[in-house]
């Protein structure tokens, strides 16, 4: 594994060699006007307009796709990165742009070609976790902006709304501004021109397993009965909580039956609470996940949804990626019904 990304010229050569091997044809490179980003690759009967980016972070890829859209001219637009992440793959699919990563994966469709290679590991993984605007506490900024897409707070107002000090808020805001995920108006207010892009960027960094997850079983005949039993037990004991995942998605959309109930317990899980709920810890066959969050921000925006306390739809959507059953379909339905800015902004970027 290497943590050093190649130079643009090296990346272009590696991409050309990979395509030449796949197409069994000799490559040639037109360097354009001395600018690597405007180079064209001619391999056999096909011409590609490639763009190299040293990262597949959502904000980086979104900018690259805009640039490639202006360079098609009959050539197959091709984004080249060290390793293409899942969220960025979705952006490429939506834009109809082919991609190839230097780790060996590819999705090249166009000009009579269909090359799809998946499953190759990241050869350019970094040691340690890079600084992120979406670390548990930092993500309070993105959460607030997505919960209030029409809002236009000042930086100071955002710090107050999220319960963070102004210095910390300033650092996170500057990272989001640098990635072009938010913008600052002339009057100093902050706004999110593409909330859908901000959500995808957060999803790329979000890891549900960073919370403390207690998996086990509570006797129940169905997911809805299980959810009601847990909610009633927590309410009777006066325990702060909020449901997420499949149970919360069902409550919000009534889409897809479920077996697994997931609930955040910010106060932790004590043995007395386990006994009160009738919870038996076990991995195999678990129908209950009791989750101690790594930041209380997950509860921001929590509300009663038909008598069941649930986290905000944005948090439900993020958490569903780590769930089994029909979680992907449930996430799509939730986004369509409760995050309408995704469609509106996609139609009017």
Model pLDDT for residues 105-120, shown as the tens digit of each residue: 999 998 899 999 999 9
Confidence of residue 33 (pLDDT cuts 50, 70, 90): very low
pLDDT of residue 245: 97
Stretch among 14-18, 267-271, 320-324 having the lowest mean pLDDT? 14-18
Of the candidates 271, 257, 224, 256, the residue with the CA atom closest to the CA atom of residue 243: 224
Q: What is the CATH number of domain 140-206?
A: 1.10.10.10
Please determine, for residue 72, whether its predicted confidence score (pLDDT) is greater than 80: no
Q: What is the pLDDT of residues 254-264, one digit of tens each?
A: 998 999 999 99
Query: Given this chain, do its domains 140-206 and 209-341 carry the same CATH topology?
Result: no
pLDDT of residue 165: 95
- What is the C-alpha separation between 138 and 143, in angstroms, rounded? 9
CA angle 188, 192, 196 (to 5 degrees): 170
Arithmetic mean of pLDDT, 206-215:
97
Q: Hey, where are the domains in the chain?
A: 8-117, 140-206, 209-341
The whole-number average pLDDT for the span 308-329 is 96
Residue 141 has what pLDDT?
96
Least confident of 45-54, 141-150, 157-166, 336-345: 336-345
Count of Cβ atoms closer than 10 Å to residue 273 Cβ = 17
- pLDDT, residue 266, reads 97
The predicted structure's pLDDT at residue 2? 53
* DSSP 8-class letter at 135: S
pLDDT of residue 139: 97
Ordered alpha helix ranges (H), 50-100:
58-69, 86-95
The CATH code that applies to domain 209-341 is 3.30.460.40
Considering only CA atoms, which of 204, 104, 81, 197 is closest in space to residue 146?
A: 197
Query: Among residues 53, 121, 57, which one has the least CA distance to residue 91?
Result: 57
Enter the tokens of residue 196.
């859908």
Contact 306, 226 (CB under 8 A): no
Rounded CA-CA distance 303/269 in Å is 21
pLDDT mean across residues, the chain: 89
- The whole-number pLDDT of residue 30 equals 57
Which pLDDT band, with edges at 50, 70 and 90, does 8 fall under? Answer: confident
8 A C-beta contact, residue 254 and residue 338: no
Cβ-proximal residues to 231 (8 Å cutoff; 6+ apart), any chain:
241, 243, 307, 308, 309
In eight-state DSSP terms, residue 55 is -
Residue for token pair 């650092």: 171
* DSSP letter (8 states) at residue 104: S
Query: Cα 204 to the chain's mean position, in Å?
Result: 4
User: What is the rounded average pLDDT of the residues 242-263?
Assistant: 96
């Amino acid at each position: 594994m290497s943590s050093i990304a190649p130079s643009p010229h090296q990346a272009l050569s590696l991409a050309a060699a990979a395509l030449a091997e796949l197409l069994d044809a000799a490559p040639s490179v037109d360097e354009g006007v001395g600018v690597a980003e405007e180079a064209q690759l001619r391999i056999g009967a096909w011409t590609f307009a490639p763009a190299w980016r040293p990262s597949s972070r959502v904000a980086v890829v979104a900018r690259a796709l805009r640039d490639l859209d202006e360079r098609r001219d009959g050539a197959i637009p091709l984004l080249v990165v060290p390793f293409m992440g899942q969220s960025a793959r979705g952006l490429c699919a939506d834009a109809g742009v082919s991609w190839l990563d230097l780790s060996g994966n590819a999705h090249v469709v166009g000009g009579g070609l269909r090359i799809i290679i998946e499953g190759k590991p990241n050869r350019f993984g970094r040691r340690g976790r890079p600084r992120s605007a979406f670390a548990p506490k930092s993500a309070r900024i993105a959460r607030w902006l997505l919960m209030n897409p029409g809002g236009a707070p000042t930086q100071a107002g955002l710090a107050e709304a999220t319960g963070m000090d102004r210095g910390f808020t300033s650092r996170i805001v500057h990272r989001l501004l640098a990635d072009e995920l938010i913008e600052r108006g002339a009057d100093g207010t902050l706004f999110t021109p593409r909330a859908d892009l901000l959500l995808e960027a957060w999803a790329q960094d979000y890891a549900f397993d960073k919370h403390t997850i207690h998996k086990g079983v509570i006797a129940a005949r169905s997911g809805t009965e299980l959810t009601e039993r847990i909610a009633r037990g927590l309410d009777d004991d006066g325990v702060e909580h909020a449901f997420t995942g499949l149970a919360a998605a069902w409550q919000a959309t009534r889409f897809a039956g479920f077996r697994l109930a997931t609930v955040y317990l910010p106060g932790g899980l004590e043995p007395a609470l386990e006994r009160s709920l009738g919870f038996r810890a076990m991995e195999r066959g678990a129908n209950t996940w009791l989750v101690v969050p790594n930041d209380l921000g997950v509860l921001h925006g929590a509300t009663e949804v038909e008598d069941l306390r649930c986290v905000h739809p944005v948090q439900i959507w993020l958490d569903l990626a780590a769930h089994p059953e029909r979680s992907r379909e449930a996430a799509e339905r939730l986004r369509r019904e409760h995050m309408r800015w995704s469609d509106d902004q996609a139609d009017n970027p």
